[in-house]
Amino acid sequence: MLNAYACQNGRLHRLAPEEAADAIWFDLENPAPEEYAFVARVTGFLLPQQEDLAEIESSSRLAVDDDILTLSMPIVTRARGVLEAGVCGFVLSPQYLVTLRFAPSILFNQFNTAAPPENVPGSAHIFTGLLEAIIDRQADSLEKLREELDHLSHRVFHHRRGSQTPARNAERELQAILITLGRDYDAISYLRDAQLGVARIAPYATAAVEWMPKPVRDRLKSVQRDVSSLNEFSTHLTDKVQFLLDSTLGFINIAQNSLIKVLTIVSIMGIPPTLIAGIYGMNFHDIPELSWHYGYAYAWAAMIISAVAPLVWFRKKGWI
């Protein structure tokens, strides 16, 4: 899909397909071959393909040729209610900006209707505004992740104190917490990749070409500072996820140890009665207690006492 935009009265306006040749910003989302060819013909750019944008080497993601910047970075998209990783490319010249992406993005769609801060925005101003919007969206996502991790921390520690939750329900709750932590870690990983992409692009675009306007350079420096603060916050969230993961696994180990302890105590309690029952179950004629009048009651009493005695001993020692 091709979305073409031009500046009219200081604002971006979406152009009709027949007017696309007058655009300064071409936004390609999962473009068809004919859309690729049209934008390349109008702008004169050699547009990269998706596999080119997915390269992870810095030399593949950051390039300049004849004052035309070709940049790529990971982006985060939301699909089926969860964050997923994607890739986005920018081809920038003083006259045109081309963005290439291969997944829907609310960020780009919302930016389409937003008024740029400059009265007469050019391609560089739109490019910088997109980077600022990406950083703002990442900050919002990190704030939501912090709230979710705070809620998980409360569930792991505060709700479990003195909890009478049945073991089966507690096990399901811990499993749900582990799944949520894994999903949050993936989201933080995607966001950190995108932050790294912005952190590479912003200084490179500032230094690689001389035609970049000074107001845009100042805004890109501000973007670099914002990325640095987000990186620190992402590190904090990653540490918190790791701590909650270790704590949840610790509770699972405690529950497993408690179960093993119960099974061990039950097995120990069953050994003496089994021994007594085995002795008096032997079919020998000369068993001294065979003719006892109260032999049956005696055997039962011996088995019960031999089962209860270890339980009393364990409790006295504080093992249970």
Instruction: Name the percent of the chain in helix, strand, coil, to the closest 5.
Output: 65, 15, 20
Q: Does 279 share its domain with 246?
A: no
For residue 260, being part of any structural domain is answered with no
Report the DSSP pairing between strands 25-29 and 97-101.
parallel
What mean pLDDT is predicted for residues 87-95? Answer: 90
For residue 301, being part of any structural domain is answered with yes
Q: Are the C-beta atoms of residues 146 and 237 closer than 8 Å to each other?
A: yes
Worst-scoring range by mean pLDDT, 84-88, 149-153, 311-315? 311-315
At 245, which helix (H) or strand (E)?
A: helix 214-280
Q: Does 163 share its domain with 88?
A: yes
| Domain tally, the chain | 2
Q: Does 42 share its domain with 112?
A: yes
Q: How confident is the model at residue 44 (pLDDT cuts 50, 70, 90)?
A: confident
State the pLDDT at residue 320.
Answer: 67
CATH code for position 97: 3.30.460.20
Q: Are the C-beta atoms of residues 19 and 30 closer than 8 Å to each other?
A: no
Beta-bridged to residue 14, according to DSSP, are: 5
For residue 223, being part of any structural domain is answered with yes
> Which of 229, 255, 281 lies at the terminal end of a domain, its last residue?
255
Q: Does 226 share its domain with 103?
A: yes
Q: What percent of the chain has pLDDT over 90?
A: 16
What mean pLDDT is predicted for residues 7-13? Answer: 75
Tokens of 218: 């100042």
> Which of 234, 255, 276 lies at the terminal end of a domain, its last residue?
255
Domain residues for the domain of 309 are 265-317
Q: Does 160 share its domain with 278?
A: no
Whole-angstrom distance, CA of residue 89 vs CA of residue 79:
20
Q: Which residues 6+ apart lie within 8 Å of 261 measured at CB?
A: 319, 320
Closest CA relative to residue 11, chosen from 105, 118, 108: 118
For residue 20, being part of any structural domain is answered with yes
Q: Does 58 share its domain with 109?
A: yes
Q: Does 271 share its domain with 248?
A: no
State the pLDDT at residue 165.
Answer: 57
Whole-angstrom distance, CA of residue 116 vs CA of residue 122:
10
What mean pLDDT is predicted for residues 251-274? Answer: 79
| Arithmetic mean of pLDDT over the chain | 82
Instruction: Please state the pTM of the whole predicted model.
Output: 0.75
Worst-scoring range by mean pLDDT, 159-173, 221-235, 299-313? 159-173
Q: Does 304 share its domain with 197?
A: no
Q: Does 50 share its domain with 189?
A: yes
Tokens of 89: 């490319």
> Which of 255, 279, 301 lies at the terminal end of a domain, its last residue?
255
Tokens of 76: 């985060």
